[in-house]
Amino acid sequence: MPNREMLPPAYKGKRVLITGGLGFIGSHLAARLVEYGADVLIVDSLIPQYGGNWFNVETIRDRVRINIADIRDQYGMNYLVQGQDYIFNLAGQVSHIDSMEDPFTDLEINCKSQLSILEACRHHNSTVKIIFAGTRQQYGRPQYLPVDEKHPQNPTDVNGINKMAGEWYHILYNNVYGIRATSLRLTNTYGPHLLMKHNRQGFLTVFIRKLIEGQEIEIFGDGRQIRDFNYIQDVVDAFLLVGAFDECNGHIYNLGGDEPLKLVDLVKLMIQVYGKGSYRLVPFPEKKKRIDIGDYYADYRKIRAALGWRYLTPMRQGLEKTLEFYHSHKDKYWS
């Protein structure tokens, strides 16, 4: 069975393009690939409200190439995909609230631009392997738990619809044009390098920032909503595994954690790990309640059976690393 030990030789000397590579997941992926001896090209738009941050690649900046470009630029992507062995396609608009307030921008980035990348590959690099970052939001409100890949997709917001379409473009191009493609449906990924400068990209960033700033954490509703979590290094392992092994081509895999937590219990654990803090329950804002998915945790047995991947970082350990990082570097992320 494939395993993590096989990854360094799989990527040594390979040319790898990472869209959204100055962001959260992309920067960690770039660092690991540099460690494995890959030739890494980062593409990022550095649009201010998104996650690109120069500090994310501070330790590897002299060992990667960086191109400031927008994936919406078809001509630019036609050039950038050429000669690449792998593309990790992480660029996207991930805010659920923003997708409802500005649906056309979400459509351009998460849907139309995905076709642009795939068309660039079809015409200029048909042998590349491309790995797409999907999301649990594609499922909408779960009909059963844990959610497996066969669960119906019924998104509750524009972002989920466009991510679903973007994912299926990749699978279609795999099946019809032979552009090798795989998708990972991510759950709540956390760790250093998260976007922290505003509160539109997930509850966990809000909780972390308020805890470190000494503010009271507000939990919407009764705090009993269940979520699962993956530490960033475990997610990087998953991306590299599905990229390295062609038996994953054309497949979609859930990621998930083994420690589903009620949000109130998550906050209690964060306070315990950090050594101080407080919280209170507040009514759900109406615009967020309309798109909330309720309880969610994933069944990730498919990727475990195929590649041996599993969640390795316990929640307490991951939170310790995350909170320590932001406590030390908040000046690089807060505004």
Percent of the chain with pLDDT over 90: 82
Q: At what angle do helices 113-124 and 158-177 cross, to 10 degrees?
A: 20
Q: For position 201, what pLDDT does the model report? A: 66
Taking phi over 0 as left and psi of -120 to 50 as alpha, with beta for the rest, 50 belongs to beta
User: CATH fold of 4-191+229-258+298-312, please?
Assistant: Rossmann fold (3.40.50)
Predicted TM-score of the model (pTM): 0.96
Residue 329 C-alpha from the chain's centroid: 21
Q: For position 96, what pLDDT does the model report? A: 76
Its sign, for the CA torsion 192, 193, 194, 197, is positive
Query: Which residue type sits at 297?
Result: Y
**Distance set, CA 8 to CA 25, 30, 62, 114, 126 (Å):** 19, 13, 20, 28, 24
In 3D, which of 164, 140, 166 has the Cα closest to residue 151? 140
When comparing pLDDT for 266 and 46, which is higher? 266
The pLDDT of residue 50 is above 80: no
**Residue 202 in tokens:** 């997930």
Q: For position 268, what pLDDT does the model report? A: 98
DSSP bridge pairs for 184: 133, 253
In 3D, which of 221, 237, 243, 26 has the Cα closest to residue 128? 243
Q: For position 5, what pLDDT does the model report? A: 83
Task: List alpha helices for 54-196, DSSP H.
Answer: 74-80, 96-101, 103-107, 113-124, 158-177
41-50, 251-260, 295-304: segment of lowest average pLDDT: 41-50
Q: What are phi and psi of 67, to 5 degrees?
A: -120, 120
pLDDT tens per residue, range 133-148: 999 999 999 999 999 9
Q: For position 181, what pLDDT does the model report? A: 98
Query: Which residue type sits at 28?
Result: H
The pLDDT of residue 257 is above 90: yes
Percent of the chain with pLDDT over 70: 99
When comparing pLDDT for 288 and 260, which is higher? 260
Reported confidence tier of residue 172, pLDDT bands at 50, 70, 90: very high
H or E element that contains 68: strand 65-68
Residues 6 or more apart in contact with residue 189 via CB below 8 angstroms: 24, 25, 229, 230, 231, 232, 235, 255
The pLDDT of residue 279 is above 70: yes
Q: Are 218 and 329 in contact (CB under 8 A)?
A: no
Rounded mean pLDDT of 57-63? 97
CA distance 176 to 126: 12
CA distance 35 to 12: 9
Mean pLDDT of the chain: 94
Q: For position 200, what pLDDT does the model report? A: 65
Q: At what angle do helices 24-35 and 232-244 cross, to 10 degrees?
A: 60
pLDDT tens per residue, range 299-334: 999 999 999 999 999 999 999 999 999 999 999 999
Reported confidence tier of residue 293, pLDDT bands at 50, 70, 90: confident
SS3 content of the chain, % helix, strand, coil (to 5): 45, 15, 35
Residue 67 C-alpha from the chain's centroid: 20
Q: For position 90, what pLDDT does the model report? A: 96
The domains of the chain are located at 4-191+229-258+298-312
Q: For position 89, what pLDDT does the model report? A: 97
Its sign, for the CA torsion 230, 58, 66, 23, is positive
Q: For position 326, what pLDDT does the model report? A: 97
pLDDT tens per residue, range 197-250: 876 667 999 999 999 999 999 999 999 999 999 999 999 999 999 999 999 999
Q: For position 333, what pLDDT does the model report? A: 93
Reported confidence tier of residue 289, pLDDT bands at 50, 70, 90: confident
